Chains A and B, each alone.
Chain A
Amino acid sequence: GIQVEQSPPDLILQEGANSTLRCNFSDSVNNLQWFHQNPWGQLINLFYIPSGTKQNGRLSATTVATERYSLLYISSSQTTDSGVYFCAVMNYGGSQGNLIFGKGTKLSVKP
């Protein structure tokens, strides 16, 4: 099945710094979503981005489907950005629709 690799696994930032999180996937996808899991365990949907670029405030994401990767940019990080960021994909022409998650990037933003 499709493999999803996220990097880096852990990231520590000072408040105000910028960061880039990467998601590589091994096959064509027709769905890609980025999630933020907060300290309470809730999965917050950040972007639905199977291709192209989107921005939402301090966050933006880019997916280059032909090269099988996606990037999540966090600018001017805040302590509330701490948590685990997951990339999840759905394989094109494959399963009935389940998302396959990466192992996540654990982000810690220090004040």
Chain B
Amino acid sequence: EPEVTQTPSHQVTQMGQEVILRCVPISNHLYFYWYRQILGQKVEFLVSFYNNEISEKSEIFDDQFSVERPDGSNFTLKIRSTKLEDSAMYFCASSVLDRVFQPQHFGDGTRLSIL
């Protein structure tokens, strides 16, 4: 079964540094998402992306975050100047064109640790 793949599985970064989290969605999917889970808390929506632009973003997704689909397969989340509170598990997800009545498929996540 096709999978969403995320790299790296664990990223350790100094506060203030830029970090890029990478995702390869399932090949025939056209809707892409990033979610975040702070340790011990629930999963929260960050941003959705379709047709090379942001469809929706949450209040968490402020100016230090950006997303990009640099080529036909990768989908990236960039955090420009990391803060301690950015430490979390970040999940990428994708769904097919008609995202209504279709499940979202999640990757295994990237654990981001800010020192």
- Supposing A97-B99, A101-B43 touch, asked if A45 and B56 sit within 8 A by C-beta, the answer is no
Contact A101 B56 (CB under 8 A): no
B42 touches A45 (CB 8 A): no
Q: Are B106 and A95 in contact (CB under 8 A)?
A: no
- In which size bucket is the chain A interface? 20 to 34
CA–CA, A95 and B56, complex, Å: 8
Measured between beta carbons, the chain A residues less than 8 angstroms from B100 are 30-31, 97
- Indicate if A56 sits at the interface (CB-CB under 8 A): no
- Number of A-B residue pairs, CB cutoff 8 Å, is 64
Asked if B43 contacts A86 (CB within 8 A), the reply is yes
A99 and B104 form a contact (CB under 8 A): yes
Classify the interface of chain B: helix, strand, loop or mixed: strand
Per-position 1/0 for A90-102, Cβ under 8 A of B:
0000011111111
Whether A52 is near chain B, meaning CB under 8 Å from some CB there, is no
Known: A96-B55, A97-B99, A101-B42. A45 touches B105 (CB 8 A): yes
B95 touches A41 (CB 8 A): no
Q: Is the CB of A98 within 8 A of B48?
A: yes
Q: Who on chain A is nearest to B102 by CB?
A: A31
Known: A30-B101, A31-B103, A43-B106. A99 touches B111 (CB 8 A): no
Tell whether A50 pairs with B101 under 8 Å between CB atoms, given A96-B56, A102-B42.
yes
Closest 8 CB pairs of A and B: A48-B103, A98-B45, A96-B56, A96-B55, A101-B43, A97-B99, A43-B106, A42-B108
Name B's A-contacting residues (CB within 8 A).
31, 33, 35, 37, 41-45, 48, 50, 55-56, 58, 89, 91, 93, 95, 99-106, 108-109, 111
